[in-house]
């Protein structure tokens, strides 16, 4: 029986249906590799932190404003993106556009606040190793936010052009997966740079 099912399968889906398809696997690979990249960055931080002399952490008590609300904003944008994706899934184009558009705006605000925070720092990227790492990590994350925003913009445009249907929407699922990744990574970055100093790391 099993052999027959292998050699003469019944009806098979053709092309990507929903989120199932090779494209989704591809983005999953990208996410895995990028996640590794950020782990090495955070490893670098903890490594230098553990071996550095006192005073290396330039901000032993990081301010929670605007970092914490900004983090919450980015995290909640993931839910909005998911809500928009559901819109495509249900064939509700208006809901999808509102979802992607709102996510885009939330992401842009996050980026703006982050830039503002950079500008207010008393140190620059070359002040010391801590500062270099802080700016590189948040900067690299920012680059990912920008890529995510471009993807959201594309999804918004393609949805507006009525490219997708509940069945054919692999690009949406893959793109939104990437946005979730951008948000989750920030959680680790935020924890490392804003929370662990309070736990006594590097102080």
Partner 1 sequence: MRTPDIGAVTDALRTRLHAIWETEPGWRGWLSTVDHKEIGLRYIVTAFLMLIIGGIEALVIRLQLAGPDLRLLTPEQYDQFFTMHGMTMIFLYASPILSGFSNYLWPLLLGSRDMAFPRLNAFSYWVYLAAAIFLYSGFVVGAGPDDGWFNYVPYAERNYSPGPNQDIYALGMMLLGISTTVGAANFIVTAFKMRAPGMAINRLPILIWGTLTASVANLIVVPAVSLAFFLLWMDRQFGTGFFQPALGGQPLLWQHLFWLFGHPWVYAIVLPAMGMVSDGLPVFCRRPLAGYSLVALSTVATMILGFGVWVHHMFATGLPALSLSFFSGASIIITVPSAVAVFAWLATIWTGRPVITTAFLFYASMILLFVIGGVSGFMTASVPADWQLTDTYFVVAHIHYVLIGINVFPVVGATYFWFPKMSGRFLDERLGRWNFWTMFLGFNLGFLPMHLTGLLGMPRRIWTYSDGMGWDGLNLITTIGSFLFAAGVLIFFVNVAKSLRSGAPANDNPWDAPTLEWSIPSPPPPYNFAVIPTIASRHPLWENRLQESRARSTLDRGMTLDHGKETLTTTPMDAEPERIVEMPEDSYAPLLLTAGLATLFAGLALKAWPIAGTSGLLVFAALLFWLWPRRQLLERAPAHG
Other beta carbons within 10 angstroms of residue 170's beta carbon come to 21
Spatial contact of 107 and 119, defined as CB atoms under 8 Å apart: no
30 or 98: whose CB is closer to partner 1?
Answer: 30
Q: Which stretch binds partner 1 (CB under 8 A): 67-75, 102-110, 165-173, 178-186?
A: 165-173
Q: Which stretch binds partner 1 (CB under 8 A): 100-108, 114-122, 158-166, 188-196?
A: 158-166
| Contacts of partner 1 in 49-88 (CB under 8 A) | 51-53, 56
User: Which tokens hold the place of 122?
Assistant: 């008393």
46 contacts partner 1 (rule: CB under 8 A): no
- Shortest gap between Cβ of 172 and partner 1 (angstroms)? 9
d(CA 175, CA 70): 22
d(CA 54, CA 43): 19
Helices 170-190 + 129-160 axis angle, to 10? 160
Spatial contact of 130 and 58, defined as CB atoms under 8 Å apart: yes
1 contacts partner 1 (rule: CB under 8 A): no
Site residues, partner 1 (CB under 8 A): 3, 5-17, 20-23, 25-26, 29-30, 32-34, 36-37, 40-41, 43-44, 47-48, 51-53, 56, 125-133, 136, 150, 154, 158, 161-165, 167-168, 170-171
């Amino acid at each position: 029986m099993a052999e027959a099912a292998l050699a003469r399968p019944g009806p098979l889906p053709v092309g990507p249906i929903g989120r199932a398809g090779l494209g989704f696997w591809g983005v999953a690979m990208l996410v895995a590799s990028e996640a590794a990249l950020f782990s090495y960055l955070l490893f670098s931080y903890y490594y230098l932190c553990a071996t550095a002399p006192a005073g290396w952490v330039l901000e032993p008590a990081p301010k929670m404003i605007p970092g914490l609300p900004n983090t919450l904003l980015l995290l909640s944008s993931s839910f909005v993106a998911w809500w928009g994706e559901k819109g495509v899934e249900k064939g509700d184009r208006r809901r999808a556009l509102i979802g992607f558009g709102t996510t885009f705006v939330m992401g842009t605000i996050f980026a703006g606040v982050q830039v503002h925070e950079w500008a207010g720092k008393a140190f620059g990227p070359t002040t010391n190793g801590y500062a270099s790492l802080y700016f590189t990590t948040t900067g690299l994350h920012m680059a990912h936010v920008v890529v995510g925003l471009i993807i959201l913009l594309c999804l918004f445009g393609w949805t507006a052009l009525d490219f997708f249907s509940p069945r054919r929407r692999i690009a949406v699922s893959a793109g939104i997966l990437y946005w979730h990744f951008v948000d989750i990574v920030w959680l680790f970055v935020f924890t490392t740079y804003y929370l662990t100093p309070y736990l006594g790391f590097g102080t």
